[in-house]
Structure 1
Amino acid sequence: AARFSPDGRYLAYAIAIARHLSIIRIAEVDSGKTHDVTRPVLWDSAPAWDPKGHYLYFLSTRTLDPVYDAVHFELGFYRADRPYAVALRADEGSPFVPEPKPLKEEKGQAKEDGSAEETPEAPLAGDGGETGEGTPESSAAAPLRIDFQGIADRVVAFPVPPARCVELAAIEGKVLWTTEPVRGALADGGGAGRRTLRGYDFEKQETLRLADGLVSFRVSADGSALAYRDGEQALRVIPAGEKAPEEDGCTRKGGWIDLSRLKISVDPPAEWRQMYREAWRLQRDQFWTEDLSGVDWQAVHDRYLPLLDRVGCRSEFSDLIWEMQGELGTSHAYEYGGDYRPSPAYAQGLLGADLRLEAGQWIIAAIPAGDVWDEAAASPLARPGVDARPGDVILRVAGVPVGADRSPASVLVNLAEEEVELTLKRGDDPPRTVTVRTLGDERPLRYRAWVEANRRLVHARSGGRVGYLHVPDMGPAGYAEFHRYFLVEADRDALVVDVRNNGGGHVSQLLLEKLARRRVGYDQPRWSEPVPYPEDSPAGPLVCVSDELAGSDGDIFTHCFKLLKLGPVVGKRTWGGVIGIAPRHQLVDGGVTTQPEYSFWFEDVGWAVENYGVDPDIEVDIAPQEWREGRDPQLERAVDEALTRLETAPPRRPAFGPRPRLAPPKLPRR
């Protein structure tokens, strides 16, 4: 965000000058003249003025200290940011060099009589604004002097370790910023509410840890108070620059604001009218091409506007937005969320098994094999000590008899992720009771069982020569799933890459980059097998399997697999939606609409993947009877195609010649 200087004569802001470059720039308000404050390195952001006018502070990504990956040969820059200060005057020294000071009594120092001098309590209210930094009124009138000549040479780094920094603000004598930990992209919460508020005290020359669990913070305009939100959307106000009090509760000392006291009256039809206009305007301003692909957007607005008078509830308003945005004829124009009354929740408990009713008894037909070490992806019946097997009869669930008139599922209503007793019987053995923890979602278990079944099919059909992996989406989950199998399957003679049902995302280019590696050599150690170069490059032919449910980045992956000539695509034409989104605009009731902002163009077909998809090289459908029989003709054909290609393109294996002989030549006798 742009920040005005304390005297209001200058405006500091970050500006992108290239795709991977941004700098801090200062504009003179009266003349409009601009000055570059930093030299381009990578990304500079979040400028904040020193309230006394001596420095400008900012965040910058420029500390590149790579960290080795723990799973495969890769390095990444996980902590690259830190705060920086730039002296505004040429004669201003570094703020991190302490100045000699005479001994004097400080505020709060003990007096001769042993009592402590009282320090006035900082007010907890200020004229909050979007400046994000404190500007005391006493300094606002002082004119600011900036020596722009050589200003980029006066940048100094804060003496703090690099981190992932997010926000920055300045108050008198201190700079405040937030850092967030390096966490897995699949971790619960995705990092929300995990930031730490840190500060630097120039007088004490020390780093401060002021609060934990933040989402964001703002400093009042007078610099006296700081408000922050936590991961539970609670709001707290504390004295700026001071450590958050340990006392909790909605008291003056605790600082938490009781938001339940806020009461508002909502006129839904008036709110829907405003939201309708807002959703329409967001498409007008954010759609990827200014002419909205030739759609008369004002006419669309006027056509659907009269229907607002007939909307009777929030879900009908949602339908109206979908219809209006559908006039764009473009993918990724969504609407979701909003102010709905919460529905009753009776989470269904699941046993993670296939059951059949036979002669009035519930029999375990099959127990899918998941990841037994992961409770969320394993069948409760596979828990150690349960010893449930196919063919066992379930007599009771949670102490309730089950049979033809009562199913196990009916007993497990509202018992998801709960410890439940099961009474099982095997043959003539006496009944026994075991305890299991039910699942609330069987999809991770069923997915793992499906992938492993496909893997076994590929290995069996090819005699172990062809490997298999599936990519469920092009997000963090898909990235993890790819590497789980790629690292162990890529060294087989050929590899089938399955992207059917791919939910899209943004990592397709990272996966394609690895699949496109071509082996050109080997590294031969003394005591182990030769290591290919590049490392983890596929040994032989590749085949992709895709279908009509592979969309967005799944479309892009499939198209680029063909474009890069990595191998044939088997299956069906893909979904056909490649205009990306960045959901960030909330409507007034918390709902979100998405604007198609990033349209993909390819050198062979231009814009034509959108609204069409990607044709396979070999079209194979799955007929209903084949699906019912448990057959997968698409995967079977992919394996056969890989074996056919191996006949003409065998895997790249080392053909080592004679090893070097480095012994010195024998000299002839004299």
Structure 2
Amino acid sequence: MPNYLHAIFIYSLANGSTHQVTDATSDCRDPVFDANGKYLYFTSSTDTALTSGLWEMSGMERPVTRHVYAATLVPGTPSPLAPNAGFEPSSPGSAGHVDGKTRKTAVTVAIDFSGLQARALPLPISAANYVGLAAGKSGVLYLQKAPLVTMPADVTPFGVPVSIERFELASKKTATVVSGITSFRLAADGAKMLYQRGSNWFIAATKPKAKPEKLATQSLRVFVVPSEEWAEMYRDAWRIERAYFYSPIYDGLNIDQAEAEFAHYLPGLASRDGLSFLFREMTGYLSIGHMFIYGGHQPKMSDIKVGLLGANYAIEHDHYRITRIFTGGAWNPQLYAPLAQPGLKVKVGDYLLAVNGQPIRGDANIYQAFQNLANKDVTLTVGPRPGMAGAHQIVVKTIPSEHALRNVAWIDHNIRLVNRLSGGKLGYVYLPDTEWGGYKNFNRYFFSQVDKQGVIIDERFNHGGDLSDYIIQYLQRKPMALVVTRWSHPEIAPPMAIFGPKVMIINSSPAPAATRCRGTSRWTMSARWSASAPGAAGRHRRLSETDGWRWHHRAARRRGRTQRTFPGGKPRHRAGCHRVAEPEAGARGAGSTARARGADRAAAAQGASAAALHALAVARLPPASATTAT
């Protein structure tokens, strides 16, 4: 609907008419008919709020609950909750069953659309985050219940696990049938269900504690002719673009000609990877950002899991010497630093002499000694000298990746650096993306530093995600009240804000959805645009403040890009976005220059020190991860 909520519609197969059943003042979904043809069931929520929009960080971690409603299809039908509604317990021997078999009766459905929404009433089912609804035998509903808030840790490779709740109108009771599943289908007669738990599939009766039957899907095989399958996928790719591409003129591309031209390459494909390469080449001519090609069948590779210790090394005296031990920082319960555990007799400066009794020398790759030892206990021989004299053994558990340890160490270093150079006046927040990573980092680091006078937002290497509205609204907060009491300190409201100057560090890598905030100065750590964007309106100076930095997805992206000639002589351009900087101060108009000077004076007036700005220049880039053997 125009307000981003959902409504229930009923379509008539007899005459092709469509009728809207519910208005859009509540988010209504999951409509199903009762088997008796008298009732319509659906779920409704009035607290979807910001979760109804698209691409908004503000919708993260917001609980959504739904109620289950039943509407009588014609006036005069008894309420489904009335004693005379006619529902009976759905068990063998009850109405609808004869000798263990379901008795089939013809059902005639009549609907009076006038006042249908007014005839809906909530069922006595506890509100929850229901994500699916199915109707079994008459008066029996099956609800898919998801966590109230879905966190990244809740998501499995197969989806978000849910539980199936069974509700009977006869008894007005709800019971859990099965939990921890990611897919669910109910049989047409409502007697059995098919569900997925992990990578396994089961069939079970639709009653609590029913014993499931595991399906032997491991032996299932599908035989295909790759060349025929790839040809069909090729046709489907162009069909999908014709149907769903945002522009009916396909950004000027003759789509029929393009499909015919690239089809000449199909007979020469020798692998699934070759098909993906062809897809990337041909869709590039649509000249649009966010066009991704991924997936497909790939040969199964045997990975070599290398164990890591969370440390840096240097080769000295023909042995590996530990030069840094990563600790995982403070308040990071999800991180494990192998060499920083309490009680371990190892420190920076010690030599790593052997792994599981096998000596290590400086002329060998240190990671070769840790092959297939990820997440395993290993015995290390360490000592203060490049020899066994004075050496001792310790037992540690390795980790498969050091990325999180090194990233946290880099963030902590930048926080300390900014704090020292600004005299404790400025905070520092790193945003790796505008999804869960950036959301988590902003909540953790920004609000814990609201006692600062200003803040540096670092979004180098930000790989995008949702719109950063959540972050921007807190960066733009302004004082609204001053709360003064006699025996306490005065407080500015809203309290969770930093009202002073804000500076953003960027480089050539942030994605289109990265944070941009009016009134926030931006500092670039790269002179990339002066060399690679000759068509831009101006250039970034190294470590120079730029105003009005923005993305151009349309005309600007074609400036300064290498042209490619498509068959037929029409020049085309590769897909992608192009960043364009505003002219430098000397090329700007008087108004722009005055605004820039005004911003400089405002920043100076609010206490931005030269030392703090110097911190932007010396903040180091994330260190490269240690090389691992694969």
- Shared fold, TM over 0.5: yes
Q: Equivalent residue for 2:182?
A: 215
Deviation at 1:313, TM superposition (A): 1.1
1-structure distance, mates of 2:412, 2:330: 13
Contact 1:418 1:438 in 2 (8 A): yes
Asked if 1:539 corresponds to 2:499, the answer is: yes
Q: For the residues of structure 2 that align with 1:89 and 1:63, how far apart are their CA atoms?
A: 29
CA contact (8 A) 2:89 2:171 kept: no
Cα distance change of structure 1 residues 328 and 550 upon mapping to structure 2, 3 Å threshold: same
Q: Does 1:648 align with 2:628?
A: no
Shift of 1:59: 1.5
Residues 283-292 or 412-421, more deviating: 283-292
Q: Which amino acid aligns with 2:335?
A: A
Question: 1:230 — aligned with what?
Answer: 197
* Pairing partner for 1:351 from 309, 329, 332: 309
* In structure 2, distance between residues paired with 1:105 and 1:461: 73
Aligned partner of 1:182 among 148, 160, 163: 148
Q: Which deviates further from its counterpart, 425-434 or 273-282?
A: 425-434
* 2:422 is the counterpart of 1:437: no
Match of 1:243 in 2: 208
Pair 1:108–1:146, CA change in 2 (3 A): closer
What amino acid does structure 2 have at the position aligned with 1:311?
L
Q: Say whether the 8 Å CA contact 1:462–1:643 is kept in structure 2.
A: no
1: distance between equivalents of 2:528 and 2:162? 40
Letter in 2 for 1:49: F
Residue range with higher mean Cα deviation, 279-288 or 51-60: 279-288
Equivalents in 2 of 1:309, 1:543: separation in Å?
54
- Counterpart in 1 of 2:130? 165
1:372–1:379 Cα contact (<8 Å) kept = no
1:504 Cα deviation (Å)? 0.6
1:199 aligns with 2:153: no
Residue 389 of structure 1 pairs with residue 347 of structure 2 = yes
SS at match of 1:436: strand
Go from structure 1 to structure 2 and tell me whether the alpha carbon gap of 1:345 and 1:647 turns closer, same or farther (over 3 Å shift).
same
Equivalents in 1 of 2:452, 2:458: separation in Å? 16
Q: Secondary structure at the match of 1:336?
A: coil
- Structure 2: distance between partners of 1:178 and 1:147: 29
The CA deviation string for residues 509-529 of structure 1, in whole angstroms up to 9 with x for no partner, is 111111111123333456654
Match of 1:265 among 210, 219, 223: 223
Contact 1:348 1:415 in 2 (8 A): yes
Inter-partner Cα distance in structure 1 for 2:442 and 2:87: 64
**Aligned mates of 2:175, 2:551 — CA distance in 1:** 55
State the Cα RMSD in Å. 3.5
The equivalences for 1:354-393 within 5 A come to 354-371=312-329, 374=332, 377-393=335-351
Q: Which residue in the other structure is 2:519 paired with?
A: 565
Separation in 2, partners of 1:180, 1:353: 40
Aligned position for 2:36: 52
1:488 aligns with 2:448: yes
Q: What is residue 85 of structure 1 aligned with on the other side?
A: 70
Structure 2 Cα separation of the partners of residues 44 and 573 of structure 1:
52
Shift of 1:355: 0.4
Q: Deviations over 1:367-420 (max 9, x none)?
A: 234236646534311111114221111111122111134343111011112111
Matched residue type, 1:35 = H
The 1-side partners of 2:128 and 2:427 are apart by 40
Which residue pairs with 1:155 in the alignment?
Answer: 120
Tell me the distance in 2 between the aligned counterparts of 1:65 and 1:273: 44
Aligned residue for 1:476? 436
Q: Which residue of 1 aligns with 2:478?
A: 518
CA distance in 2: counterparts of 1:380 and 1:499, whole angstroms = 29
Q: Does the CA contact (< 8 Å) of 1:361 and 1:403 recur in 2? A: yes
Distance 2:214 2:303 in 1: 30
Decide whether the 8 Å contact of 2:428 with 2:456 is kept in 1: yes
Q: Deviation at 1:346? A: 0.6
Contact 2:289 2:553 in 1 (8 A): no
Aligned partners of 2:239, 2:214: CA distance in 1, in Å? Answer: 36
From 41, 61, 83, give the equivalent of 2:45: 61
C-alpha distance after superposition, 1:405-443 (max 9, x if no partner):
434311101111211111111259822211111111111
State the Cα deviation string for residues 8-61 of structure 1 (Å, max 9, x = none).
xxxxxxxxx323222112233333333332232231111101110110011211
CA distance in 1 between partners of 2:552 and 2:276 (Å): 35
Equivalent residue, structure 2, for 1:30: 14
**1:430-469 pair list within 5 angstroms:** 430-469=390-429
- The alignment-based identity, stated in percent, is 27
Partner SS, residue 300 of structure 1: helix
Q: Which runs of 5+ in 1 are unaligned?
A: 1-16, 67-72, 110-117, 124-135, 247-253, 577-601, 620-640, 652-670
Which string of whole-angstrom CA distances, capped at 9 and with x for unpartnered residues, describes residues 211-236 of structure 1? Answer: 1122222223344432222332x222
Distance change (3 Å), C-alpha of 1:391 and 1:255: same
Judge conservation of contact 2:39–2:70 (CA < 8 Å) in 1: yes
Residue aligning to 2:26: 42
Shift of 1:538: 1.4
User: Which digits, 9 at most, give the CA deviation of each residue in 1:441-467, with x for residues without a partner?
Assistant: 111111111111111221122111111
The residue number in structure 2 matching 1:12 is none
Indicate conservation of the 8 Å contact 2:551/2:577, yes or no: no
After superposition, the C-alpha distances for 1:597-643 in whole angstroms (9 at most, x for unaligned) are xxxxx999785577212538989xxxxxxxxxxxxxxxxxxxxx999
Q: Secondary structure at the match of 1:460?
A: helix
Give the structure 1 partner of residue 562 of structure 2: none
Residue 535 of structure 2 corresponds to none
1:424–1:618: structure 2 CA closer, same or farther, 3 Å change rule? farther
Q: Which moved more, 1:417-426 or 1:517-526?
A: 517-526
User: Which residue of structure 1 aligns with residue 564 of structure 2?
Assistant: none
| C-alpha distance in 1 between matches for 2:483 and 2:117 | 47
Q: Matched residue of 2:286: which SS?
A: coil
- Structure 1 residue aligned with 2:461: 501
Structure 1 counterpart of 2:78, one-letter code? G
* SS of equivalent residue, structure 1 residue 18: coil
Name the CA distance, whole Å, in 1 between partners of 2:522 and 2:88.
80
In structure 1, what is the Cα distance between the partners aligned to 2:480 and 2:524? 28
Contact 2:551 2:580 survives alignment (8 Å): no
Distance 2:240 2:45 in 1: 31
Structure 1 residues 97-139: Cα deviation after superposition (integer angstroms, max 9, x where no partner): 3349999998569xxxxxxxx985569xxxxxxxxxxxx8523
TM-score (norm 2): 0.79
So what's the TM-score if we normalise by structure 1? Answer: 0.74
Aligned equivalents of 1:330, 1:104: Cα separation in 2: 57
Alpha-carbon contact 2:87-2:170 (below 8 Å) kept: no
Per the alignment, in what secondary structure is the counterpart of residue 327 of structure 1?
helix
Q: Deviations over 1:458-477 (max 9, x none)?
A: 11221111111110011111
Q: Distance in 1 between matches of 2:335 and 2:110?
A: 63
Cα drift, residue 647 of structure 1: 2.2
CA distance in 1, matches of 2:134, 2:300: 38
Counterparts of 2:303 and 2:274 in 1: how far apart (Å)? Answer: 22
Inter-partner Cα distance in structure 1 for 2:161 and 2:502: 42
Report deviation, 1:539.
2.5
- 1:183 shift after superposition: 4.7
Q: Contact 1:570/1:616 (CA < 8 Å) preserved in 2?
A: no
Q: Which runs of 5+ in 2 are unaligned?
A: 51-57, 533-548, 558-575, 586-597, 609-630
Letter matched to residue 503 of structure 1: H
Name the counterpart of 2:565.
Answer: none
Determine the C-alpha separation between the residues in 2 that align with 1:302 and 1:220: 44
Report the residue type matching 1:235 in the other structure: W
Q: Distance in 1 between matches of 2:599 and 2:404?
A: 29
Residue 94 (structure 2) pairs with residue 138 (structure 1):
no
Q: Which SS does the other structure have where 1:513 is aligned?
A: helix
The answer as to 2:380 corresponding to 1:425 is no
In 2, distance between residues paired with 1:205 and 1:155?
A: 17
Q: How does 1:89-108 map to 2 (within 5 A)?
A: 89-99=74-84
Counterpart of 1:179 in structure 2: which amino acid? K
- Structure 1 distance, partners of 2:228, 2:305, is 35
